[in-house]
Structure 1
Amino acid sequence: MITEFLNNKKTEPKVLVENKISFNGPQSQLSIYDTFEPAQKVQLKSDQPLFCAMISGKKIMHSDDNYHSDFFPHESFVMAPNQIVEIDFPIAQLTQPTRCLAIEISSDRITQIAEQLNYSQQKSKEFGDWQYQPQIVHTRHNAQTQTLLQRMTHIYSENHQDRSFMIDLAVNELTIRLLRQQSRALMMSFCMLQSDFSGMTAAINYIETHLADNIEIAHLCKLACMSRTKFFNEFKQNLGCTPFVFQQQQRLKKAHELISSGRQITQVCFELGFTSCSHFSRVFKQFYGTSPKTFQQYQLG
């Protein structure tokens, strides 16, 4: 766990609010921020895209474009260059600090990776090229991203002979995940607004509006006006997974949203088409790295 690793490297804080420890890498920097007492309206700004991941505690994020949201462990928050965010720390304590990991990646590096993706992959024309959108991205990250962040914490802080090369690989992976997350979010918004724009948008919209149902590939292929092989290939190229995995991911994201709003876990489970609470709890934990019950306790705490 990231928390255990950082606790082993614990040093005396220089300040009690946003105490920062940084590790430099090629075209990037990884920092750990610890806050040991409640605070309000603490400003954060970077001249490069800043990927933040909550490790422990709770923050409340505010931006100048009327964005206000709680920020919990296993969530990612990406700030655009030169964007100012104000942060509240409602539950920070000396013995239980609010901790966040932040990775600053140069805009040039992100552009370079996007260009490489555009050269090597061909998405459907209606969804455009890979490119970084300079806007806030706030999402629950999955277990794979959590594992990557844990690995990056070790790589940045160790004195390995191949450190720079390994950081390059890890930053590439994190950037690709960020670009795909933004691309998927924009794609979903587009599909909800213009579900009849193309066969693929119709199929994606159908899955999104039938999360509790068992989807039939034959029906999706008919909506997309594609053969089974072509549909699977284009779907995976655009969304990074199969239709079945995509529906499962969207079910879990909807479950996260409903539990956040105060709905009971059992009710959410069956409403979204899961057949047992134990199965729902298991796949939720695999996807988010925490159980529905633990996540609900974060919301209530």
Structure 2
Amino acid sequence: MPIKFKPKLLPLKKEEELKTLVENRSVYALPHCELNVFETHQASEKVKLVFNDMVLTTMLRGKKVMHLFGSQHFDYLPGESVIVPNYEEMVIDFPEADRDNPTQCLALAVDGDILKDTLQLLNDKYPKAETGDSWNIDLSCFHLQNSLEITATIDRLVRISTEPIAAKDVLADFTLKELLIRLMQTQARQLILDSYHKHTGNRFAYVVQYIKDHLHEEITVDKLSNLCCMSKPNFFRCFKREFGISPVDFVVQERLKQAKTLLGDVSMSVSEACYASGFKDLSYFFKLFKRIEGVTPNEYRRRLN
């Protein structure tokens, strides 16, 4: 079960402030991006939305059903983001929205020039480890779970956009570039995670497969760097650059996902789920789980059953 990192909730509009109950829009304009906050307070179907620029959308509250690219549709929930190319029509259903359970979604329209500049910087100065591979926004991975890094950067960009902050435009541009980099790193990580068995020539895919197959064992950076035929410092640096997370943190996140899956098995105790996922310290496991998930492993299990 994937970990979802949810951006901070924004205050909802008061009823008298709403211009419409369906996709009420608040706009915060910056030089190279436009932050839109959409709220819907009643059930609706087939609401259409188009932007002139590429848009990164992130769900904050409630549930939508998104229809994209002509035929694809899926539930869209808090802790998830969707990338929509420019001029692509979104058709949105709000099956559960009402005044007590509104939806709230961020839509960040990104100027094409800053995207181009960010891609050029990465490909010139920080090329990918695999020959022939390059940085880009991959639209085959348009629906993704927010990483901790994406969530923190979105929260920071929202604060810059919505509050009276000195040098707002400069800070917004730096943060927007960081968000684009974090997004591409998360995409790269998700693509490898979803289909690592297909990327047989990719060294990091081989490492990911090894980690997944050996979560219950001790996994060292020395071992992983040897699998990649790279020095330990170079492996650590390249892994973090490509995926936006250190190899050590990646192993911890994969163990936490494994533990969440095992907690669904009522025949297994919480301590057994902890140790079977590769954690050696039960107290550390409880603290980590509570910090990431917001609930203890026992509370998480009760919610599942």
What TM-score, normalized to structure 2? 0.79
**2:3 aligned residue:** none
Equivalent residue in structure 2 for 1:60, among 62, 65, 68: 65
Equivalent residue in structure 1 for 2:215, among 200, 211, 233: 211
**CA distance, structure 2, for counterparts of residue 158 and residue 88 of structure 1:** 31
Q: Which moved more, 1:101-110 or 1:120-129?
A: 120-129
Question: What value does the CA root-mean-square deviation take over the aligned residues?
Answer: 3.5
Equivalent residue in structure 1 for 2:102, among 74, 97, 101: 97
**1:51 aligned residue:** 56
**2:234 aligned residue:** 230
Q: Deviations over 1:144-194 (max 9, x none)?
A: 433332332232123444221121122112111112122333444564213
With over 3 angstroms needed to count, the CA separation of the structure-2 counterparts of 1:128 and 1:170, relative to structure 1, is same
Q: Deviations over 1:41-93 (max 9, x none)?
A: 22232232211111111112222354332222222222222222322212212
Equivalent position amino acid for 1:235 in 2: F
Number of equivalenced pairs = 296
**2:30 aligned residue:** 25
Equivalent position amino acid for 1:177 in 2: R
Equivalent position amino acid for 2:217 in 1: D
Following superposition, the deviation at residue 10 of structure 1 comes to 7.9
Following superposition, the deviation at residue 28 of structure 1 comes to 0.8
Equivalent residue in structure 1 for 2:156, among 113, 133, 151: 151
Q: Which moved more, 1:244-253 or 1:32-41?
A: 244-253
Following superposition, the deviation at residue 205 of structure 1 comes to 2.4
Any gaps of 5 or more consecutive residues in structure 2? 1-6
**1:83 aligned residue:** 88
Q: Which moved more, 1:235-244 or 1:87-96?
A: 235-244
With over 3 angstroms needed to count, the CA separation of the structure-2 counterparts of 1:292 and 1:28, relative to structure 1, is farther
- 2:148 is equivalent to residue 138 of structure 1: no
Counterpart mapping for 1:4-43 below 5 A = 5-7=10-12, 12-43=17-48
Equivalent position amino acid for 2:246 in 1: T
With over 3 angstroms needed to count, the CA separation of the structure-2 counterparts of 1:28 and 1:61, relative to structure 1, is same
Q: Which moved more, 1:284-293 or 1:79-88?
A: 284-293
With over 3 angstroms needed to count, the CA separation of the structure-2 counterparts of 1:270 and 1:73, relative to structure 1, is farther
Q: Deviations over 1:5-64 (max 9, x none)?
A: 534888611111111111111121001100001112222322322111111111122223
Q: Which moved more, 1:107-116 or 1:231-240?
A: 231-240
What TM-score, normalized to structure 1? 0.80
With over 3 angstroms needed to count, the CA separation of the structure-2 counterparts of 1:144 and 1:200, relative to structure 1, is closer
Find the residue that maps to 1:101 and give its secondary structure.
Answer: strand
**2:187 aligned residue:** 182
**CA distance, structure 1, for counterparts of residue 81 and residue 155 of structure 2:** 14
**1:220 aligned residue:** 224
Following superposition, the deviation at residue 116 of structure 1 comes to 0.8
Find the residue that maps to 2:65 and give its secondary structure.
Answer: strand
Following superposition, the deviation at residue 279 of structure 1 comes to 4.8
Equivalent position amino acid for 1:231 in 2: F
**CA distance, structure 2, for counterparts of residue 92 and residue 252 of structure 1:** 32
**CA distance, structure 1, for counterparts of residue 152 and residue 225 of structure 2:** 35
**1:249 aligned residue:** 253
Following superposition, the deviation at residue 248 of structure 1 comes to 1.9
Q: Which moved more, 1:41-50 or 1:290-299?
A: 290-299
**CA distance, structure 1, for counterparts of residue 60 and residue 160 of structure 2:** 17
Equivalent position amino acid for 1:122 in 2: P
Equivalent position amino acid for 1:205 in 2: Q
Equivalent residue in structure 2 for 1:113, among 106, 115, 118: 118
Any gaps of 5 or more consecutive residues in structure 1? none
Q: Deviations over 1:103-158 (max 9, x none)?
A: 11023321210111122213213461111223452223244433332332232123
- 2:175 is equivalent to residue 170 of structure 1: yes
Work out the percentage of aligned pairs sharing the same amino acid: 28
- Confirm or deny: 8 A CA contact 1:140 1:288 kept in the other structure: no
Equivalent position amino acid for 2:231 in 1: S
- Confirm or deny: 8 A CA contact 2:32 2:110 kept in the other structure: yes
Q: Which moved more, 1:32-41 or 1:46-55?
A: 46-55
Q: Deviations over 1:251-296 (max 9, x none)?
A: 445667x59xx77795875653346777556435544677778889
